[in-house]
Amino acid sequence: MNQRNTETSEAPQASERQKVGPRAKLVFLAVLVAVVGFIWYIQRNPSPPADWGTNLDDAIEQAGRENRQVLVWFTGIRNSQQWKDMRGRVRIPQTKNIIKKKNFVCVNVEVGTSMDSDLARKYGITKLPTFLILDPQGKEVKRTEGPIGEQALREWLHPTQP
């Protein structure tokens, strides 16, 4: 009979250990809400790849100081599917390696959908996305307009001479 009492007395202790207090539940809920909120924010406000700037004048100034070419990616609305697709293409390891090997100063310029900005007019942007390669003084060397596939982008980038 003592064995039965021992078995039954141990069972409630095990289940008591599994109970989670209200404070722990609130902490878990707060962490969960924070993670979901962060993921939502990132998806709603995507940023250019980490090694791409957003100011063309600064990029040209840096390129002039360092005698490097500038790779400019003109885009429309940053949250569009087309922008996300192109962002993925410039982040593919083979493309990133070409960009790194060419030692470009990279910049992503958002011109909106009207293409009526000063920069869009200055560089004659008529289709999005548009990629330009500029010399260290900011003069156009090469361009491609409109959507471009992964392989085509790599081929377009590869023959450029520094």
- Which pLDDT tens digits describe the chain residue by residue (162 residues)? 555 555 555 555 555 556 778 888 888 889 988 888 777 665 555 556 667 888 999 999 999 999 999 999 998 876 677 778 888 888 888 998 998 999 999 999 988 777 778 888 899 998 888 999 999 999 999 999 988 988 999 999 986 444
DSSP letter at 161? -
Return the CATH architecture of domain 56-157.
Answer: 3-Layer(aba) Sandwich (3.40)
**Domain ranges within the chain, ordered by starting residue:** 2-44, 56-157
Phi, psi of 110 (to 5 degrees): -90, 120
* Residues near 111 by beta carbon (within 8 Å), at least 6 away in sequence: 74, 75, 76, 117, 119, 120, 125, 128
| Residue 110 bridge partners (DSSP) | 75
pTM of the prediction? 0.67
| Token pair belonging to 137 | 């003084």
